[in-house]
Amino acid sequence: MTDTVLDRFLRYVVIDTQSDPRSSSHPSTEKQKNLGRVLVDELLAIGLSDAHLDEHGNIYATVPSNVDKPVPVICFCSHMDTAPDFTGTNVKPQIIPAYAGGDIVLVGDRKQVIRVSEHPELLNQIGNDLITTDGTTLLGADDKAGIAEIMTAVDTLMRHPELKHGAILVLFTTDEEIGRGVDKVDLKKLGADFAYTMDGETAGHLENETFSADGVDITLSGVAIHPGFAKDRMENAIKIAGAIIAALPKDMAPETTDGKTGFVHPTSVTGSMEKATISLIVRDFDDAGLAAKEAMLETIVRGVLADYPGSSYTFTVKQQYRNMKAVLDRQPEVVDNAIEAIRRTGMTPVLGSIRGGTDGSRLSALGLPCPNIFAGGHAFHSPLEWVSRQDMEKATATIVELAQIWAERA
């Protein structure tokens, strides 16, 4: 076992940890625990004697304080699962040493090309060592880059007692990609005052604002009958689902929005002539905007069903997470300290919002203020995913600095 952030990252990404939204268990896939057991063994070897994996797949561990004054207890958090959007089985990471610029053709599927025109951050990576996939899987930098950074940072703190800090907690979760990342986290057991997720993208970036998010399931009950006798009688649930999807506003989709504009996004359609289900995610930075989009969506459903009098529907909304900003604004030192840590590592801090969610959103809502710090990865959930060694090293250094800043300012 070697202890560089790159070596750790390469170890972790080859372990398949894809979560499954169709599963009702927690974790949704047992294979997430395979990485969990590796991480616990490594944490114990580093010297975090309380490191353990709980029944739900979550990992807890503590770096003890080495100062003789009270310091707020800080937690660093990342998630072990990878997204169900693209396969994470048999990941073959590719290293491009001293990237010289230009588009990157992936060797396992040469149709997959990481183009500079679509990934302008590559222009800031000249001379850096990049890690990609071979084009046949996602990489898993979301969020195994964050895990590797936290592991390397706590190893550094344990090896260097001259670095003064309070108690530092480690939390690795499962099922973040399907909105269940902190469902089974025991906050009382964790015992943190403040937290940070290492789950962002570009180096130097810090997010104190996220979407508010809901999931919506629309179940359609049609009228099934033999097609030979169907005239004026059949109401095909599959066609009803298609009509609803076709009626969604084109300017309210992920592919047509950016900035702080929310969206309505169908993620799956299943069913038969008799019954079909559409699953969607709804996103907005404002809770009122979220509710308005859901009302609009149900209006569309009712409008389509007006042409199918024998059919019916159910409309189920499940809260996923809420914008963290209101919570963080009440504890400005959490963000201020992170900004200073980024600055001390030689970067210009960039504070902003993220068009997505992290465990930090849920943790903040549950009373544990938790902004999101960059992990360095890009093009998440796709075979074009990539990260640079240097950016992971910067994230690691940020964690180490941040641990010391909390002790300094206590």
pLDDT digits (tens, 9 = 90+) for 126-138: 999 999 999 999 9
Residue 27 pLDDT: 96
What are the domain boundaries of the chain? 5-210+323-409, 213-321
- 5-210+323-409 and 213-321 have identical folds: no
In sequence order, what are the beta bridge partners of 113?
Answer: 105
Query: Where does 213-321 sit in CATH, by number?
Result: 3.30.70.360
Residue 223 pLDDT: 95
Residue 358 pLDDT: 73
Q: Is 155 a catalytic residue?
A: no
Query: Where does 5-210+323-409 sit in CATH, by number?
Result: 3.40.630.10
Q: Is 81 a catalytic residue?
A: yes
pLDDT digits (tens, 9 = 90+) for 25-46: 999 999 999 999 999 999 999 9
Spell out the residues 6+ positions from residue 83 whose beta carbon is closer than 8 angstroms to its own: 18, 19, 138, 142, 177, 380, 381
Residue 155 pLDDT: 97
Catalytic residue among 176, 199, 209, 391: 176
Catalytic residue among 16, 42, 81, 209: 81
Residue 356 pLDDT: 76
Residue 1 pLDDT: 46
Residue 268 pLDDT: 93
Residue 101 pLDDT: 97
Residue 254 pLDDT: 94
Confirm if 192 and 73 have CB atoms less than 8 A apart.
yes
* Ranges of residues in the chain whose predicted pLDDT is under 70: 1-2
